[in-house]
Structure 1
C-alpha cells in the first residue's frame, strides 16, 4: 500500500491571475520570462544540435553512442533548469520526472542502453530544438511591446506566457503512468530490501537465543556426562537423559523456525492446508475457507500465507475475539484474502500491531491492504495480491 504526500508551495501556483490593464508582479515576471526565452532557447538549440551531430555522426565508432547517452543525461539537467524557470517566473508547477531507471542488464552496455532509450532526455531535446523560433518571436514581440504596445501589453504577455505554459506541460512533465510506476517501484524495492534484512536479523536472533543456546548447553552436558561415565554411571545416565530432553527442545525450536521461513505443509499441500495449520495455533476458533482451483506462484502463495499468519497472531494477542474466519479466493487476476474477527475492533495501520509492515510488503508486489475496524468491532482485513500462475 503506498501513500503520497502532497505539499503546496506559495510560489508554485499553476493558475496565474486573469489578464488586466495592470503591470503587477505576475505580469513583470512573465515579461522577464519571455525576454529570457531567446538566450535560453538559443543555448538549448545549440546544445541539442551539437550533441546530435557528434553523437549520430560518430555512431559508427566506439565513442558516438556514449556521447549521445551523455548528451541525453545533460538534457535532463536542461529540463530541470527549465522547470525551475517556469516555476519561478510563470508560477507553473511541473512535477519532476522519475530518475533514470537502473539498467536491467549489468555492465557498461546495460548502462549505455538505459541512457540511450531515456524518454525524458529525448522529450527535453525535442523541447529545446523546437523552441528557438518561439524564443525569437516572444523576445521580439515583448521587447517591441514595451515601447509600442504598452496599453495592451499585459494581455499580449499573458497570451504568450500561456503558450509557454502549455509547451512546458506537454514536453517537460512526466510522460505517462509508467514513469510514476517506476518511481513507486523504486521506493517499493527499498521496502523489500529492508523487510528482507529485518527477517534475516530475526532468524539470526532466534537461532542465537534459541536452538544455538540449547545446543551449547547440550554439548556441555554431554561433556560432563562423558567425564562421569566411569566414576558415576548413574549421574551420567541422568545427564544423558537431560541432554536427550534438550535435543528434543532444540529440534522443536528448529522446526518452529523453519516453519517461520517457509512451512513444509505450504510447499507440499498448498495454501488451504497451510492456513488450516496456522488456524489451529490461534487462541480462538478459526474457520478457514479456500476456494482456489489451482495454486498461485510460490512467491504469491508465501506472501499470502505469512499475511494470514500475522493477522491471526494479532487476533490472538490484541482482538479479544471469540471467533474468527479466513476466506481466500481468486477473482480474475487477483488473489483475495479476508480475515474477520468479532473482537473489540480499533485496529489500524499506526498502532504497532505489525499491520503497517504487512501493508508495505503487499504494496511492494502491487498488492492492496485495507483495514476496517471500528471501535467495538468487528474487524475485517482485506488483502489483494496479483495472481501469477505457478511455473
Structure 2
C-alpha cells in the first residue's frame, strides 16, 4: 500500500498549492471538503459530488457512532463501500459535535460522557474510543480527539481546555498505532491567544503528526478575529505538512484563509444553504425564494457550468423551492458545491502562476457588484 504524503508545489505570498497523496487518490490543495455528516452529502449522489471537483469528503464520528454505529459500518465493509465513495475520506473526532449537540455532557480527564441527541442514550468518547471508531469506519485521514470550548471564553478556561486537548492528542497518537496509508492529524487549540496557540503547536510538533489542523475557530468569534488568529496560527505549524482549518466557511472566509497559509477546509454551508434557498454565486449571495426571480428566464450565473445554471432558469428554481420540491435542494446544493470547487481551482491555478493577489482582487470586486439587476 502506498503511503500518505504531502508535496508542496508552489507558494505565492503565504498561499500554498500542492498535492496530498493517499492510497485512495490525490487531494489537490487548497482543498474544500464537502461534509457528508451521516455518510451522505445531503441531496447529492457521490458521483455528482465528484463531478463538482471534490477530491475528498468529510464524515462525522459523532453522528456515525450513534447511527448506524461504527461497528455496523465495519461489518458492511467500511465507510467508503457503505456510502459508495472510493476516494479519500477525512473523519472528524466527534469532539466538536459533543460540545454543540449532545445533551448533559460530563467532561473528565478520561474523556466525555454524553446523551445522544437522537434518543437520549448514554455514550462515552475518549481519545482511544474515537481512534477505534475512526479505524472501524476506515477513514483515510483521522482527527485527534480534542475538546473545543465555545468562544468567547476566559483565558484560563481556554488554556485548561487546550492543555487537556494536548494530553488527548498524545493518547490519540498512541491509540492510532501503526496504520500505513492512513494519516492522523493533530489539532491546534488556544482560542484567540497567540501564546497559547504557540504552546499548543509546540506540543503537537513534539508528538508528531501527518498533518495539522487549526481548531477552535469558526465558533462565533467573527471573521475579523478569525483572520487575526490566522495571521499567525498556520505559521506556528510545520510548513511541510498539510494545514487544515476546521469548519470554514463562507467564500470570502475560504479565500482569506488560503491567503494566510491554509491548505484544507470543510463546511456544511454550501449544502445547508442549498436546501434553504441560499445560493452562492461569483456576484455574491442570491436568495432564490425572493419574488424577483419568479418570472426571470435567466440562469443563476451565466458563467457557471453546473446543471442548475446550464439547464434551468431562475424562475424554475424559484418555483421548485416555493413548491418544496426535492429537486430544489438537489440543484441548489450542486450549484453551491460546484461554485466552491471553482474557487479552489481558481486559487490553485493563481498560486501556481504567481498571480494570487490579482485573482483575489478580481474575486472580491466581482462579489461586491452584487446580483444582476432584476428584469
Q: Hey, which of these two has a bigger chunk of strand by percent? A: 2
Higher RCO, Cα 8 Å, sep 6+: 2
Q: Hey, which of these two has a bigger chunk of helix by percent? A: 1
* TM-score, normalised via structure 2 length: 0.19
* TM-score, normalised via structure 1 length: 0.19
Q: Name which one, 1 or 2, has greater alpha-carbon Rg.
A: 1
